[in-house]
Amino acid sequence: MANDLFNSFMTGPDEKGRFGDYGGRFVSETLMPLILELEAEYEKAKTDASFWEEMEYLWKHYVGRPSPMYHAERLSERLGGAKIYFKRDELNHTGAHKINNVLGQIILARRMGKTRIIAETGAGQHGVATATVCAKFGLKCVVYMGAHDVRRQAPNVFRMRLLGAEVIPVTSGRGTLKDAMNDALRDWVTNVRDTFYCIGTVAGPHPYPAMVRDFQSIIGKEAKEQLAEMEGRLPDTIIAAIGGGSNAMGLFFPFLDDKSVRIIGVEAGGKGVNEKMEHCASLTGGRPGVLHGNRTYLLQDEDGQILEGFSISAGLDYPGIGPEHSWLHDTGRAEYVSITDSEALEAFQLCCETEGIIPALEPCHALAHVMKIAPELPADHIICMNMCGRGDKDIFTVARYLGFDMSDTEIGRDAD
């Protein structure tokens, strides 16, 4: 890693959309012209001041940015080591970081004259964010969601419908996020003229991984400024949960060239990273392959068939990971670890008790790793963790795991 640090980690992707060997544009010919058009439009928008003015106005007045930087004092005290900060992206409008990116893509779609927006969603947070912004701009919105996720995330399905989106349960495969992405791609290839595909994470064909990262980088940019103001320096460790990896990439990117900052991504270890593959830890338990338009680490069998992940958290239940993470993993600039379902649940409860914050199950994976490392670190070691989503959507899942009976409630009956 020492040699690589002479070069910037912030220059990717190259003109072929690659981060090292990862990324690229592995799509059918029908989609290729659309992807090239999107890339050209994004390149134009990126340097257009009016595009960013509109983004910044909406980030401030519609999303509620900047999100706070919060010193989790009681949690830090309880763990008895490092000083822990939460970057509170769960306080955004719609309850997660997802809307940062959706705003960017929808403004771009409007500039391109597209009138119909499609999206895939796992936990439903990206679907809700997309439905929200579409409602705001009066655009038609279609969300593909795995049938299994439709059951376990019933509150978000209802939210999307309230917001006027059409939610299509996907029954192919095992009915999770991966299958929803397949069906969204099938929709796009069919409706090429009027439709914009709003991808929710830093994956997919170029330019999506770079574009989504750029929109999410507001997280890391703010975090850097806020910590400079509050602590007068950089954090020592930054940490975030990873499914596809958009909240993590958003936090990490502005820090990539700050070599004193330790960067940790936390994957969903499900029931444990083992040969039975009951997890979603693409980097710790997978190998490079090509899916959904990019080359990246994937959970797959020896024949190159894609395996279904397993996680308590629908938002992390994806057998791949953004290509830039694969590259950061191989270069060693970021470390990647995994956390099991039960560790995440323990973190969930600790966060509720000590901080009065009900976190989503996704950031609980990051928090569980903070719980592991913080006690061993000195009191002046600053950890910044991305609290990327709030837990309202997860209370039914958590209740079931904790043996709390919510079946008397209307919604409890619908939730899986």
Partner 1 sequence: MTRIDAKFEELKAAGKKAFVAYVMAGDPDEATSLELIKGLPGAGVDIIELGVPFTDPMADGPTIQLAGQRALEAGMTLQKTLDMAKAFRETDDTTPIVLMGYYNPIYSRGVDKFLVDAKEAGIDGLIVVDLPPEEDEELCLPAQAAGLNFIRLATPTTDDKRLPKVLTNTSGFVYYVSITGITGAAAAQATDVGPEVARIKAKTDLPVIVGFGIRTPEAARDIAAVADGAVVGTAIVGQVAEGKPVAEILEFVSGLAAGAHSA
Where on the chain is the footprint of partner 1 (CB under 8 A)? Answer: 16, 24-34, 172-173, 178-179, 182, 185-186, 189-192, 289-293, 295, 298, 300, 302-306
- The nearer residue to partner 1, 17 or 270, going by C-beta atoms, is 17
- C-alpha span between 379 and 187 (Å, rounded): 52
Q: How do strand 287-291 and strand 293-298 relate by DSSP bridges? A: antiparallel
Q: How many CB atoms neighbour CB 375 within 10 A?
A: 12
* Amino acid sitting at position 272: G
Identify the burial level of 322 via C-beta atoms within 10 angstroms of its C-beta, where 0-12 means exposed, 13-18 middle and 19 or more buried.
buried
- The nearer residue to partner 1, 24 or 359, going by C-beta atoms, is 24
Cβ 7 to partner 1 shortest distance, Å: 23
Q: Is the separation of the CB atoms in 384 and 228 below 8 Å?
A: no
Cβ 29 to partner 1 shortest distance, Å: 5
- The nearer residue to partner 1, 186 or 276, going by C-beta atoms, is 186
- The nearer residue to partner 1, 303 or 410, going by C-beta atoms, is 303
Contacts of 243 (CB under 8 A, 6+ apart): 122, 177, 201, 268, 280, 313, 315, 316, 317, 318, 321, 362
Cβ 311 to partner 1 shortest distance, Å: 18
CA atoms within 13 A on the CB side of 117: 33
- The nearer residue to partner 1, 3 or 190, going by C-beta atoms, is 190
- The nearer residue to partner 1, 159 or 295, going by C-beta atoms, is 295
Cβ 303 to partner 1 shortest distance, Å: 4
Cβ 244 to partner 1 shortest distance, Å: 15
Cβ 144 to partner 1 shortest distance, Å: 12
Cβ 187 to partner 1 shortest distance, Å: 9
Cβ 296 to partner 1 shortest distance, Å: 11
- How far are the Cα atoms of 225, 283, 390 from residue 221, in angstroms, in the given order? 6, 26, 21
- C-alpha span between 316 and 397 (Å, rounded): 14
- The nearer residue to partner 1, 189 or 358, going by C-beta atoms, is 189
- Residue 107: both structure tokens together: 């403004």
Identify the burial level of 127 via C-beta atoms within 10 angstroms of its C-beta, where 0-12 means exposed, 13-18 middle and 19 or more buried.
buried
- The nearer residue to partner 1, 282 or 300, going by C-beta atoms, is 300
Q: Is the separation of the CB atoms in 262 and 286 below 8 Å?
A: no
Identify the burial level of 105 via C-beta atoms within 10 angstroms of its C-beta, where 0-12 means exposed, 13-18 middle and 19 or more buried.
buried
- The nearer residue to partner 1, 302 or 405, going by C-beta atoms, is 302
Cβ 24 to partner 1 shortest distance, Å: 6
- Residue 349: both structure tokens together: 């409860």
- C-alpha span between 415 and 407 (Å, rounded): 9
